[in-house]
Each structure stands twice: as structure tokens, then as C-alpha cells.
A and B are shown apart, each in its own frame.
Chain A
């Protein structure tokens, strides 16, 4: 029982962290172009120019 007192908050905190991370990613436009992100890995940094 005592373990639960700190395990549950920890579990919720970690889950909440993931939620915040997702909302942040959503807000910063990382879900706007999933296909493009997959392909851009293959491009040279130099050829990308200023973004």
C-alpha cells in the first residue's frame, strides 16, 4: 500500500510528461509533414540551405 503512494504519482507524472511532449510536438508543427520528414533525412545538410 505504501509503495502505491509514490508509485501512482510517478506513473501519472511520466504519463503526463508524454502528453505534454506530444502537445508540444503538435504545436511546433512536427506532425505537419510526416512523409517529408522521413525523406529529408536523406538530404545533405549543405543542399538544404537556410531554413
Chain B
């Protein structure tokens, strides 16, 4: 079954593992005693993969159903309420690391299927009317022609109501806000064409434009549907952030009793209990206890920070090793997470000001078209005074110029580009993201979790006695500290069943256990062993050092190459990190980044990006942590790895699912190419008008000419867009398993 399972070796499987707790968090109750969760599993790509994933999941106790959707690379799992099936770990173990999937938005899907139904109805109508029209063009006359016209008029009615309604509503809402959009000439053109054709039919005239009116709707709806598929599917990052903060905390009352309170009910001065594995709910000072805090979400720092009595901690830190009693300094509304929320909201507002290419074109286009039609009408009135002919010609101009190809020109390219990127493991959340990415000329990178994988790795495993490694791994398996996890991973397979008595984790120090050989300690030098040099983590037996482990965060695969290519493609590359200077200097040195800033707070990152923007740079921000989320939202365009915090993924325009950083320059290349094709397509569509409009103005646009011109121009832009599918297969993302260790 592993024919195509990428990275079944433990190394790759360890790279991106979602914790089962997080899976449980993102599941939702179905109400009938079962829960459902959707996971993104980017490694799935063939029948064997489907089988492996589905059968593995179904074997887990408590799982009721599992179904893979290969098109979206997702798996939907239904399990009994109360069971906490180890979905993510089991998937990772067979080589399919899972990521939390964005929730399916039902409102969005409803709109999409409404569009699809409209496409179907207008397609049916266009096909049948076109058949009748062909017989009219081939010479049907007299009563037969009138019959065909009447039948066409009948078929067109449902299409106008059902499919046309979409344009009428859109045009009306634009008009009522005092704007014009692309839908206005469409709505006016289609309505006038239909009205005139009815008049033509009743008066037994030869030229009815039923076919043009309906096939126009059909083509435009295809474009609209594609465009919708590319619309901003990102739910607001703010929602994700709100979900990340703890729902409440255990409050220690003055009389000694405990009470679980909602986050909003916690006041400054309250004493809080935070157990191991919980997040700090509000900004607070530690009253008793000692622990290590994982601040990766807050500051981006990779190494957990030991904290003890008297230290002030910020909301969002994850308590790793020991229970803490805290005194709240600020209520939740004044805490770190709330500040982030406010910053995100402000930044998202700025992004909304970007106007898409299609919008910019259409605001110029609509007035020109209407003016053209009006001028035609009055021109012919002035020349001949025949109002019927003048009207017919003016309507023909409206139909010919209806932005059929223009409506397809942008979405078709973006859909093809998104498809191309999806194959390379990059999810595009918003079509306008592609447009903005093509404009980027300055790159800002986060360090922890973006350039590096954000997980420490044992670097001197080869020098260590395998038996000692096995002991250390067995001890480490009992701790949540990232170093312990790295050790447990490094020792996987070597460990035999080593049992310990009296296992105890000493917060901020290490872990202790005894067996018949003596007392083993794994932790900080000075605590585990007497004397000895500082640095690293020590394994000791009865106070005597027996092994010393060194850890390092590891660079993302292909990071150096990606940075190099970004520098050549986009422009200046700079690194902003919340981590300490030495760690930043080392990574920057290994990657050849000359400009970097360290120890930045989230607000300072945003400030830097805003400053760059004010200087006229279009910033591409790549980051992952919660601390990067406001910066991601503030940048001109942003990307995040799938391992990023939920908030980071929501704030970014692009999410790359593979571990390699090569996805970012690839996305830039595809976006640039897409941008070129979009401009070509718009030029083609306008060029078509330049040829067709004079014909229409002069009164030569019969229904046959209109039908041919419209179809040809649409086909042309679609064919041009498809050229993108062939773009540079050589720049495929680097293989997911290449490992580049930092110097």
C-alpha cells in the first residue's frame, strides 16, 4: 500500500503532526450522538492512498465513517461522541500528515450551487434556442420562422428569470449605491435585446436576438461561476483567533473553593489555576509554581521559556511542564490576545481596499459601452430618422460589446492558475491574492515555523551511545517539552521497554526516574548533574553525566534555495523574528539573508510592514505564528505554511501544504505568468470589440454575426488561459523529504 505514500519513513512523518486534541477541538457535533471533523490531507493522490487512509481510519475504535475527497484532498471523519480517536497521529504514522481544514462554509456553497444551477438552465436554453436559430439562419421563412421565434421566446423566459436574475440583482445593488459595474451593460443589453426580439417576432420580422441574449447569459455565468470558485473563501482570521483563546479558567476563590469561570468573567486580581497543557488565559503574574512556557504563538520564540514565581506571563502561552497559580493582571479584554484581535481587525480593513483588475476595467468599460450605444442610436436617427433601425442597431451594439470575453478573461486564468498551484501543494484562498502576489516587490519572512520547521531536532545523535539514547528517549516520552519530544523521536525504534519507577517532572528543570541501575535525570545541566559545562541537555545516572544532547531548530527543506529565488524574482528579502538575536543571526547567515530584525513584538512587525507599504513597497509576507497574523493581514499579499496557527492560515492569501519552502517562489512565478495572461486576455477582449463595434455601429451585426463573434472571442480567451497549465514543470516544488540542516 505504500506505493505512493510519501515519506513513510519516520523522518517525514514527524515533520507535521497535528495533535489529536486540536482535531477534537475542530470537530463539531452532528446532534445524533456523533461528531464530525474535516481534515486536510495533502499527501493523498491516488486510489491506493484513498484506500489506505479510509481503511486505517475505520479501524480506529469509535470511528463510524471516513470518506476521502480526492479533489479537495480532505477526509471527513464521523466518530462517536465522547470517543477521542487518535486520527491525526494514526494518519501521520502511515505517512499522511493531516492539517485542520477550514470549515466548510455552507452559505458560500449554497451560492455556488445556485450559480451552477443557473449555468445549467441557461446552457439548456442557449443550446435549444441556438438550434432553432440555426434553422432560421439556414433559411426558414414565413410561419415556420415565426413559430421558431415564439418557441425561442418561451424557452428564454426561465433563463432570463433564473440566470438573468443574478445580473439584475447585482446591477441594481450597484446602481442603488451610485456605482456602475460590469453587470449593468449586461442587464440593460439582455433586457433590451429580449424586448426588441419580442417586437420583431410579433411584427413577423427576420432578426430576433433571443439566441444572443441567452448565450450571453450562459457564457457570462460560466465566468461568474469560475470567479466565485476563486472568491475569498477565507473566513475572517479574527474568528479563528477568538476560538484559540481558552474559553475560561479555574479561579481560586478566597474561601479556598474553585470555580470554573468564562474568560470574560475573569477580573484583574483573580487567582487562577493553569494545569499542564493549558493556555494562559489572561496576562498574569505567577504566584506559585514553576514551569516551561511554549511562547511560539506569542513571540515566535522556538525554545520554551522557564518561568517561576514573580514572572509576568502573557495570554496565549502554553503551559508545558508544571501547574501554575497565577494572579490576573488584566481582564481578557485588555490581554495580549485581545490586543492581537484589535490589530487583526484593523489590518483586515486595509486589505479590503484593494480593487481587483476586473473591477478596475469594468468601471471604465461600462460607461464607454453605454455611450457608444447611445451615440449609435442618435447618429442613425440623425441620418435617416428611422427609429426602428436606429434602435435595432443600438441594441446590436450593446449585445456585441457585452463583456462576454471580458467576464471570462480574468476568472478562467485564475482558476487555471489555482489548479496549477494546487497540484504543487499550494492553496489559493482568493483570486485577488494572485493579482496582488504578481505585484509584490519586497519579501518579509518570519523565522520560527516559516524558515525553520519550528521543532527542535537532535543534532548529535550519532555521537551518543545508543543505549543512553534509548534511556533518554524512554524518559523523554513522558514529557511535553519540545526537546523531550525531539529526543523521543530520535530514539524511536532503539528503545526497548525500559520501565522507571517514581517518574517525576521537575518544572523548568527536567525529568527524573529510577530503575534498578539508579536514579536517572534528564534535563538542564546543573540540575541533572553536578558541575559540568552549561548548554545542551544532560542525561545523568546518580548525578553523574552520561550523555549530553544538543538540539537545533531545523531549516525548512529548500529554504536556502527558496530565499535565493525569491531574492531574484521579487526583490529584497528581509527577516522579522520574535526570536532572540543569536538564533536569528544563525538562520540568516545560513540562508544568506542580509537584512533581519530580532526580538520583535507583533505590533512592531505590523509597523515595519506598514512602513514598507508607505514607502511604496508591495510586501509579500510569509509567516506562520499567531504573532504573525496581524502582519500577514497587513501585508500586500501573504502566505503561510499549513503548519501555521489556525489564525495565521486564515489571515494568509496562500497556504502551502508541503514542508518545502519552494512553494513560495513557485507561487510567485505562476502568479506573474497568470498576470501576463490576464492582461493579454483583456487586450484580446478589447481588441475584439475594436473590430466588432464598427460592424455593429454600421448596422451589419445580424444575429448570426453576433453569435459567431461572441463565441469566438470567448473561446480565444479560454484557449489563451489554458497555456498556463503548461508553465514550467521544472520549477516544481522541491521534494518534500529533502532535509537541509543549518550550519
List residues of A whose CB falls within 8 A of some B CB: 1, 4, 8, 11-12, 15-16, 18-19, 22-23, 26-27, 31-36, 39-43, 47-51
Contacts and interface: CB of A to CB of B under 8 A. Distances in A.
Given A47-B51, A47-B55, A11 B128 contact: yes
Contacts of B128: 11-12, 15
Residue among A1, A22, A39, A50 with most chain B CB within 10 A: A39
Interface stretch (B10-18, B68-76, B408-416, B483-491): B68-76
B70 A26 contact: no
B175 interface: no
Nearest to A32: B69
A36 B117 contact: no
B47 A43 contact: yes
Given A19-B121, A23-B117, A40-B50, 18 more contacts: A1-B143, A4-B147, A12-B151, A15-B128, A18-B124, A22-B120, A35-B70, A35-B71, A36-B50, A36-B69, A39-B70, A40-B47, A41-B47, A42-B47, A43-B47, A48-B51, A48-B54, A50-B65
Interface of B: 46-47, 50-51, 54-55, 58, 65, 67-72, 113, 116-117, 120-121, 124, 127-128, 131-132, 143-144, 147, 151, 155
Contacts of A1: 143-144
Given A12-B155, A33-B69, A26 B117 contact: yes
A11 to B, nearest CB: 7
B116 A26 contact: yes
A50 B51 CA distance: 13
Contacts of A4: 144, 147
B124 A15 contact: yes
Nearest to B44: A36
B151 A51 contact: no
Contacts, number: 63
B50 A43 contact: yes
16 contacts: A1-B143, A4-B144, A8-B151, A12-B128, A12-B151, A16-B124, A18-B124, A19-B120, A19-B121, A23-B120, A33-B71, A35-B71, A40-B47, A47-B51, A49-B58, A51-B65
Nearest to B49: A39
A11 B47 CA distance: 40
Nearest to B132: A8
Nearest to B127: A15
Contacts of A18: 124
A27 to B, nearest CB: 8
Contacts of A36: 50, 68-71
User: What are the 10 tightest A-B residue pairs by CB atom distance, in nearest-first order?
Assistant: A36-B70, A39-B47, A42-B47, A35-B70, A33-B69, A19-B124, A35-B71, A33-B71, A22-B120, A15-B128
B55 A49 contact: yes
Contacts of B151: 8, 12
Contacts of A41: 47
A16 B47 CA distance: 35
Nearest to B74: A33
B302 to A, nearest CB: 38
B133 to A, nearest CB: 13
A7 B658 CA distance: 57
B398 to A, nearest CB: 28
Contacts of A35: 70-71
B144 to A, nearest CB: 6
Given A11-B128, A12-B128, A33 B72 contact: yes
Interface of A is mostly: helix
A39 B120 CA distance: 26
A41 B70 CA distance: 13
A8 to B, nearest CB: 6
A18 B69 CA distance: 26
Residue among A16, A23, A35 with most chain B CB within 10 A: A35
Contacts of B121: 19
Contact of B70 (A33, A47, A49): A33
A16 B147 CA distance: 20
B215 to A, nearest CB: 15
A48 B131 CA distance: 45
A8 B113 CA distance: 30
Contacts of A40: 47, 50
Nearest to B116: A26
Contacts of B132: 8
B247 to A, nearest CB: 33
A39 B50 contact: yes
A4 B131 CA distance: 13
A39 B113 contact: no
A32 B71 CA distance: 8
Nearest to B147: A4
A36 B147 CA distance: 46
A1 B135 CA distance: 13
A27 B120 CA distance: 13
Residue among B58, B67, B71, B127 with most chain A CB within 10 A: B71
Contacts of B72: 33
A39 B127 CA distance: 32
A48 B71 CA distance: 18
Contacts of B113: 26-27
Given A23-B117, A34-B71, A35-B71, A49 B131 contact: no
Nearest to A34: B71
A16 B154 CA distance: 14
A26 B144 contact: no
Nearest to B120: A22
A10 B58 CA distance: 49
B595 to A, nearest CB: 43
A31 B124 CA distance: 18
A35 B45 CA distance: 9
A46 to B, nearest CB: 10
A18 B128 CA distance: 12
B482 to A, nearest CB: 36
Contacts of B71: 32-36
A22 to B, nearest CB: 5
A10 to B, nearest CB: 12
Nearest to A1: B144
Contacts of B46: 39
A15 to B, nearest CB: 5
A25 B198 CA distance: 35
A23 B121 CA distance: 9
Contacts of B120: 19, 22-23, 26
A8 B135 CA distance: 12
A10 B51 CA distance: 45
Residue among A11, A19, A34, A48 with most chain B CB within 10 A: A19
